[in-house]
Amino acid sequence: MGLRRAGLDRLMFSSSVLLAIFVCVAMSGCASLTGQIYESARGSVYLEEVHDWSFEAAHPISIDPTTMANVLRGVQIEERQSMPPLTSSMEVRAVRVFSDEDVELLAPLLATALSKADPADLVVFRIVQPASAGTVRTAGTLYAHEYHLYLTLTQYRSNSDSKSGRQLSGSSGLTRRVVSFVPGSAQLHDTHMPPGAPVQSNLRTLIINYASLAEPPSQKPELAKIPTTTPAIIPAPVSQGSALNDRTSVDSATKDVQSTEFLGRKLEELRVSKELASKKDVELKAMKRDIQSLRRQLATGEAVGRMPIHHGVKPGETVFRIARNYGVRQEQVRKWNNLQNDKIEVGQKLIVGYGAEIQKLKAKKKPVQPVKKTASVNGRQS
């Protein structure tokens, strides 16, 4: 009876483990928190890693906060109508998901998150909004792929206490509602999703061409072009004071043009400097992880007498996917192979790690069995 009870307990434990794994895959895509960007009573923004190795976003990427604000202002929601309205007064119109206060808070935070995200990261956001019965929450996910932003609304004005950007059953606030985007020309109506991207069948992902929402640069004032040839007209006599005023006006206009051009150059230099600083920050984080890994290896003695592990490049493989297959960073593979960029060729041998070859060689060696000596009779062994 005791043995039967123990076997039943083991079976129930195994079923619980399998159920937990299934829920993890179905609900959250087995993603894990990798970086906190912002956290307060008004909401939160953080990075979440997607464990599907085929997923590869276009991060880190630099998007102007003004462009991100235009993206958020274009997200709308409306009630799904089961029957046409009886009167024009009953017509339901689409409303903006994010208020001006929400956009002012989220736009710079989401732009910062996209500039710090790795190719395997999602940006998860949550905003707390006022309501008649207290507060409600709106949440979602965001990532960039090629030249588009993929935005999924997972909660809309929900009173759930969950702080996660993931949808909770029966509490998302999206039932009988349709999410859309304006202007429609900036939305890609293709349902094709990137490989490995987390997909929830009951949610709609907006595919937005953010470049079309970028505001054009301000027009620089230019002086009127003076024709090369002018008719011979005898000017009327003017006073010396009037000529001095005209000359002062021309000099002032010239200085304004020069100041505007100088300001434009400085703004462009500042933008380039911010992009370089963002990339350096990502490289610095990767170097810190490498240093921590080396310290752990030196502490356990694994770094002594290591041998390199090589990988032959196959068609369709990239540096990012090769690095993830061996559990190392993309920057490590570049450093080990002195790569200036991610350009590789089929058949090229890349170093992807150290240490495993030594263990393989030790496993192949078999201990030598000692030879047993026996007594001999008349010169013969017995």
User: In this model, does residue 77 exceed pLDDT 80?
Assistant: yes
User: In this model, does residue 377 exceed pLDDT 80?
Assistant: no
Q: Name the residue with higher pLDDT: 307 or 243.
A: 307
Q: What is the mean pLDDT of residues 152-174?
A: 67
Q: Name the residue with higher pLDDT: 379 or 112.
A: 112
**pLDDT value for 278:** 84
User: In this model, does residue 242 exceed pLDDT 80?
Assistant: no
User: In this model, does residue 106 exceed pLDDT 50?
Assistant: yes
Tell me the CATH number of domain 305-364, given options 3.40.50.720, 3.10.350.10, 3.40.50.300, 1.10.10.920: 3.10.350.10
Task: Check: CB of residue 75 under 8 Å from CB of residue 98.
Answer: yes
Please tell me the distance from the alpha carbon of residue 330 to that of residue 343, in angstroms, as a whole number.
13
Q: What is the mean pLDDT of residues 304-316?
A: 81
Please tell me the distance from the alpha carbon of residue 126 to that of residue 156, in angstroms, as a whole number.
10
Please tell me the distance from the alpha carbon of residue 174 to that of residue 202, in angstroms, as a whole number.
9
User: In this model, does residue 9 exceed pLDDT 60?
Assistant: no
**pLDDT value for 231:** 47
pLDDT band at 12 (very low <50, low <70, confident <90, very high): low
Q: How far is CA 252 from CA 240, 248, 258, 262, in A?
A: 18, 6, 10, 15
Residue spans of the domains in the chain: they are: 15-80+93-213, 255-304, 305-364
User: In this model, does residue 136 exceed pLDDT 80?
Assistant: yes
Task: Check: CB of residue 196 under 8 Å from CB of residue 52.
Answer: yes
Q: Name the residue with higher pLDDT: 246 or 112.
A: 112
pTM equals 0.50
**pLDDT value for 280:** 85
The pLDDT tens digits for 251-299 are: 677 777 778 888 888 888 888 888 888 888 888 888 888 888 777 766 6
The pLDDT tens digits for 203-237 are: 889 999 998 888 776 544 443 444 444 445 555 55
Q: Where are the beta strands (DSSP E) in the chain?
A: 32-40, 43-49, 75-79, 95-96, 121-131, 134-145, 148-158, 177-181, 187-188, 205-208, 308-312, 349-354, 376-377, 380-381
User: In this model, does residue 6 exceed pLDDT 80?
Assistant: no
User: In this model, does residue 381 exceed pLDDT 80?
Assistant: no
Mean per-residue pLDDT over the chain, rounded: 76
pLDDT band at 190 (very low <50, low <70, confident <90, very high): low
**pLDDT value for 233:** 52
Q: Name the residue with higher pLDDT: 225 or 154.
A: 154
pLDDT band at 357 (very low <50, low <70, confident <90, very high): very low
Rg (CA), the chain: 33
Q: Which two tokens stand for residue 320?
A: 């990012």
**What is the sign of the dihedral through the CA atoms of 31, 33, 38 and 40?**
positive
Q: What is the mean pLDDT of residues 320-345?
A: 90
Percent of the chain's residues with pLDDT above 70: 65
> Helix or strand or coil: residue 36?
strand
User: In this model, does residue 92 exceed pLDDT 70?
Assistant: no
Q: Which of 85-89, 143-147, 332-336, 356-360 has the lowest mean pLDDT?
A: 356-360
Q: What is the mean pLDDT of residues 1-8?
A: 49
Q: Which of 166-180, 227-241, 266-280, 314-328 has the lowest mean pLDDT?
A: 227-241
Please tell me the distance from the alpha carbon of residue 127 to that of residue 136, in angstroms, as a whole number.
8
